[in-house]
Amino acid sequence: MGGRQGSGDTPVLRIYRNRDSDPGKGDESGGDRGLAQANTSSSRRHFIAYNITVTVTVLLFASLAEQAGTRRLEIPCDAGDTVVEIKQKLLAECPGISSALGTVLFALNEEYVKSNAPVKAGDTLALIPPVSGG
């Protein structure tokens, strides 16, 4: 048995990850859907569609962290999501913070961004409420 993959009755599974579900194209963005190709001993190919959940790390500070009860959350994201869409998903997870979200600043991977900035899998989004001092 311990030999080549695909010999005998052992199926071989190859995973193709890309946004268009096209095994011939690469995916620079780490897309969230694709095809799994299974080769069996009869040389028949079977393609199975699959979805992969990817996440964005959301960091909460000061009053936001207190209201949410945590400083860090993993929020699922889809290809093409923007900061404002992640904010809406965050509200679904933590509805108690809605009153504080109107005046927050957004930092994506440690750089301030506007709410229409695109977000990719693996990014870190910090929500920073206004602070006062003196």
CA dist., res. 8 & res. 33, Å (int): 30
Bridge partners of residue 50, in order along the sequence: 34
Any residues with CB less than 8 A from the CB of 102 and at least 6 apart, and which? none
Confidence band, pLDDT 50/70/90 cuts, at residue 128: very high
pTM equals 0.61
Q: Evaluate if residue 23 carries a pLDDT over 80.
A: no
Q: What is the pLDDT of residue 99?
A: 87
Q: Average the pLDDT over each of 43-52, 84-93, 96-105 and give the range with the smallest value.
A: 43-52
- Which sequence spans correspond to the domains of the chain? 12-51, 54-128
Confidence band, pLDDT 50/70/90 cuts, at residue 87: very high
- What does the mean pLDDT of the chain come to? 74
Q: Which CATH superfamily is domain 54-128 in?
A: Beta-grasp domain (3.10.20.30)
Instruction: Give the residue carrying structure tokens 């913070």.
Output: 97
Q: Evaluate if residue 86 carries a pLDDT over 90.
A: yes
Pair 106, 83: CB distance under 8 Å: yes
Q: Which of 60, 115, 111, 123 is nearest to 84 (CA)?
A: 115
Q: What is the pLDDT of residue 12?
A: 46
Residue pLDDT, tens place only, 31-47: 444 445 554 555 555 55
Q: What is the pLDDT of residue 133?
A: 72
Dihedrals phi, psi of 101, to nearest 5 degrees: -80, -15
Using DSSP, state whether 46 is helix, strand or coil: strand
Name which residue leads in pLDDT, 35 or 99: 99
Name which residue leads in pLDDT, 98 or 50: 98
